[in-house]
Every structure is written in C-alpha cells, then in structure tokens.
Amino acid sequence: MARLSPENEAIAREILSRYPRRRSALIPLLHLAQEQDGYLAEDAMEHVAQLVGCTPAQVLGTASFYEMFKLEPVGRYVVNICTDIACMLLGADELLHHAEEQLGVRAGQTTADGAITLEGVTCIAACTEAPCLQVNYRYRYRMTPEAFDQLCDDLRAGRAEDVPPHGTLATVRQRIPADRAAGPADPSSGAEPAWMKGASTGGAA
C-alpha cells in the first residue's frame, strides 16, 4: 500500500546507520515495511530500495527468497504448524488436518474473515515440544486439537495478548546510544583496531 511512514523512515535511518554498507540493512528494513502493512507492499519495497541504494528489482529478488516475506496480504494472524520430522512423529499431520477442517481452508490459505492464514512449515526449533506451532512467530508447544481450537477462539476474540499483528516481530528494538556507539567499521578503511596495535599477535603485520 504505502511507503514507510515518517516514523518508520526515522527508525529505518537509525537501523541504516549501524551498517558499514546500506545494503546490509535490506532485510531488517523489509521487516519494518511488513510490520507497517502486514505484508510487503510494492510502494514500500520501492521506498526501501531508495533507502538502501539499490533497484526495486534487487529488493524483490532478495524479498522473494525468504519465506517470511509476504508479497500478498495475509491474515491478521499467520498460524504456522510445524510438520517436520520431530513434530510429524508426534501427530503434526493430524493436527494440520484438524486445523484445515476447523478453519475451512487448506494450508496456505486465509479464512474468509481475514483473521487467520494457515501454513504448514518446516522445523521451527522446538522439537522437544512437539507438535508445535507459531502464531505470528509466538510459540505454542505440545499442541492438541482442543488447544488449537481454543487458540483460534482466543485470536478471534483478541484474547491472545502476547501475539502482535502479523508483521511485527520483536517488540523490543535495539537502541545504540550516540554517546556509546563505536560506529560501523568501514571495510575500505584498512584501520587496525586500537587495542591490537603493538599487540604481538599472529594477526599483526
């Protein structure tokens, strides 16, 4: 829909300032755009291209490689049910089947009310808590069909307080205070760090 808002552009510039090369901020800035709109709108990607200094096609090239970036609108809540080996052994396929029946959609689709997008995903690093899922990247462990139904009720009623809208990842941002920042290390500077000078290391020339 939109370019980054003035507030988000300010955040974007702060993120950009941490990197020796602007292009490195591309993925964090795409997350910021997705946080704003819930998906990656074309205008937002063009804006990000300007900010990092590359073409919109290069932005799309990177964005389309990564599973988390949505190029079309999705539901307010994206429920990712893990169906990889550890979860499969403990009933993930049955859980996904139940979810499809319950929501009336197939994996990859969004419910008619726009509330929930259902996805079957690969390993999300909670194998000892199988079967597990993430809703907007918040974990739910050892899921049962009953727990899944309860989760959907809670999401639709706005009762899942730990789950922000889709697009928002971390709700805490890193802040580097200006008076403490060491600053990005320019790769073309050739600068030897102060504490290595005169140090008898294999690394010193």
Partner 1 sequence: MAITDAPKIVTSRFRYDDAHTLARYEATGGYQALRKALAMPPAAVVEEVKAASLLGRGGAGFPAGVKWGFCPPGVWPRYLVVNGDESEPGTYKDRMLMERDPHQIIEGVLIASYAVGCSQAFLYVRGEMALAQERIAAALNEAYAAGYVGRNILGSEFSLDIVLHWGAGAYIVGEETALIESLEGERGMPRLKPPYFPAAKGLYLQPTIVNNIETLSNVPWIVANGAEAFSALGAETSKGTRLFAVSGHVANPGVFEVEYGVTTFRDLIYAPVYAGGIRGDRQLKAFIPGGASSPWFFEEHLDLPLEKVTVDRAGSMLGSGAIVVMDETTDAVRACHRVVRFFAAESCGKCTPCREGTTWLERILKRILDGQGRASDLELLLDVADNISPGITWPPKQTTICPLGPSAVSPVASAIRRFRHEFEAHIARNPKASGAVDATGSGAARPAALETPVPFGGHHG
Interface with partner 1 in residues 105-134 (CB under 8 A): 122-130, 134
Please state the three-class secondary structure of 35-83 as a single string: HHHCCCCHHHHHHHHHHHCCCHHHHHHHHCCCCCCCCCCCCCEEEEEEC
For partner 1, the binding residues in 73-112 under the rule CB under 8 A are 80, 83-86, 88-90
Query: Nearer to partner 1 by C-beta: 112 or 182?
Result: 182
Task: Tell me whether residue 2 or residue 199 sits nearer to partner 1 (CB atom).
Answer: 199
Shortest spacing between CB 19 and partner 1, in angstroms: 7
- Among residues 113 and 195, whose Cβ is nearest to partner 1? 195
Beta strands 116-121 and 138-140 are: unpaired
- Which residue stretch of 1-9, 100-108, 135-143, 147-155 sits at the interface with partner 1 (rule: CB under 8 A)? 135-143
Instruction: Write out the binding residues for partner 1, residues 20-59 only, by CB under 8 A.
Output: 20-21, 23-28, 30-31, 52, 54
Say whether residue 173 binds partner 1 (CB under 8 A).
yes
Tokens 């988000």 locate to: 8
d(CA 105, CA 96) in angstroms, rounded, equals 11
Which stretches of the chain are DSSP H helices?
A: 6-16, 26-37, 42-52, 56-63, 85-89, 92-103, 145-156
